[in-house]
Amino acid sequence: MDKNTRETRRKKRRRTRLVHAGRQPFEQHGFINTPIYRGSTVLFPNVEELHAYRQSYTYGTKGTPTTRALEDAWSELSGASETVLAPSGLAAIALALMTASKAGDHILVVDSVYRPARNFCDGMLKRFGVETEYYDPRIGADVANLIRPQTSVVFVESPGSQSLEVQDLPSIAQAAHARGVCVVADNTWATPLFFAAHEKGADLVCEAGTKYLSGHSDLLIGLVSANREWARKLRAAFDAFAMCAGPEDAFLALRGMRSMELRLREQEKAALDIARWLEQRNEISRVLHPALPSHPDHQLWKRDFTGSSGLFSVILKPFSEQSVASMLDELELFGLGYSFGGYESLVIPFDCRTYRTATRWEPEGPGLRLSIGLEDVEDLKEDLDAGLACLRADR
């Protein structure tokens, strides 16, 4: 009845697939969006069916039509075999790592990893007998030298949190797979729209849907997608934890997906414009944006990515902490807060010096991370201009 299926969509372009994926209107009385199914118990029509356990839905923690719609759409967008949802991006990372490691294992994690993920490795995973070793984000194929017989995972995040180093995932994955090691990637910055992480070699891919998928700073959700080899193990780990996402959040995430490409393209354009403008400013020492030719990993970014999102960092000239505070307090449009990917611009000071262990982070000045939203770019520049004036005045 519905002519529009995953099969017929295969030949369509991505923007079309983003609009049509994960929808079954004729199973919902013709309504466009899959509604919010709330529920724990699912009824079976008779004892035979109860024992056969072959219904599409059997219990709330295992999924509902709402969560399935988002999972299916995400798998289609990511070129994955399977997707499971988690209540946050960090929960998605935890689930992926627990899927692929066990007591006695050694895992390799990039030094520029999202910091709470590092805390999960150093705390919880350690407690369960998994040893974490951090590696230089620019290691490439040399990661082979760090792989031991007990190594079960290489975890990549590209570009890195705060400092935006781009990783050579294809080379890392080749080295890992040669030794039977699972490659887990955090693809939150690029999303599947700008980086095809599975195609480049990742087995499990985590996304903080809290960021660009949501796009509106009003929900927390995580997604883990798996290739064919890891699909069953991922689903089994998901069932074991029953760490499921709420139906409203799944609904909102799927709604966000329809406009994700349009938002990201606008944020990409605006972020590049502002990054280039900042590169010309006297107060700035360096702009860390992989899509700028000045970025040390620009060639790698160009080879593997199809776009850049709205998040980048700058290293200021050596201004004092107080001057930076007066700059940030001066800003009217840029909010001070964690997270990114919403429609509103954000800024946050950062300092990786205290917690990186495999590499040395010695910037010549304070770091700021900017998330560019959907405001008018000229207004954002005027806001930053006023902030930078404040920075200079305070010197």
Instruction: Give contact residues for ligand PLP (rule: CB under 6 A).
Output: 88-90, 93, 114, 157, 161, 186, 188, 208, 210-211, 220, 222, 339
Closest CB to ligand PLP among 101 and 161?
A: 161
Q: Of 186 and 304, which has the nearer Cβ to ligand PLP?
A: 186
**Cβ closest to ligand PLP, residue 318 vs residue 337:** 337
Amino acid identity for residue 77 in this structure: L
CB of 90 to ligand PLP, least distance (A): 4
- CA nearest to 335, candidates 281, 371, 284, 377: 371
Nearer to ligand PLP, 80 or 223 (CB): 223
SS3 314: strand
Whole-number minimum distance, CB 221 to ligand PLP, in Å? 7
* Residues 201 and 170: beta-carbon distance below 8 Å: yes
Q: Which residues contact 244 (CB under 8 A, 6 or more apart)?
A: 60, 61, 62, 63, 67, 85, 86, 87, 238
Distance CA 10, CA 49 (A): 34
Nearer Cβ to ligand PLP, position 107 or 220? 220
What is the SS3 assignment for 323? helix
Between residues 78 and 210, which has the closer beta carbon with respect to ligand PLP? 210
> How far lies 82's CA from each of 203, 238, 256, in Å?
11, 11, 20
In the chain, count H helices and then E strands. 14, 12
Task: Name which of 157 and 283 has its Cβ closer to ligand PLP.
Answer: 157
Which is closer to ligand PLP, CB of 61 or CB of 339? 339
CB of 34 to ligand PLP, least distance (A): 22
The answer to whether 165 touches 297, Cβ cutoff 8 Å, is yes
Residue that is written with structure tokens 């895992």 in the block: 107
Q: What are the backbone dihedrals phi and psi of residue 181, each rounded to the nearest 5 degrees, phi first?
A: -95, 135
The least distance separating ligand PLP from the CB of residue 364, rounded to whole angstroms, comes to 25
Q: How far is the CB of 205 from ligand PLP (least distance, A)?
A: 12
Dihedral class, residue 126 (left if φ above 0, else alpha if ψ from -120 to 50, else beta): alpha
To ligand PLP, the closest distance from the beta carbon of 200 in angstroms equals 17
Which H or E element spans position 371?
strand 367-371
Q: Which two tokens stand for residue 385?
A: 């201009």
Cβ neighbour number for residue 1 with a 10 Å cutoff:
5
Instruction: Please say which residue, 319 or 334, places its beta carbon nearer to ligand PLP.
Output: 334
- Rounded to the nearest whole angstrom, what is the least distance from the CB of residue 249 to ligand PLP in the complex? 10
In the block, residue with structure tokens 């972020």: 271
Report the alpha-carbon angle 306-235-305, nearest 5. 5
- Using CB atoms, what's the residue nearest to ligand PLP? 89
Minimum distance of ligand PLP from residue 380's CB (angstroms) = 21
Q: DSSP state, 88?
A: S
Smallest separation (angstroms) from ligand PLP to the CB of 197: 12
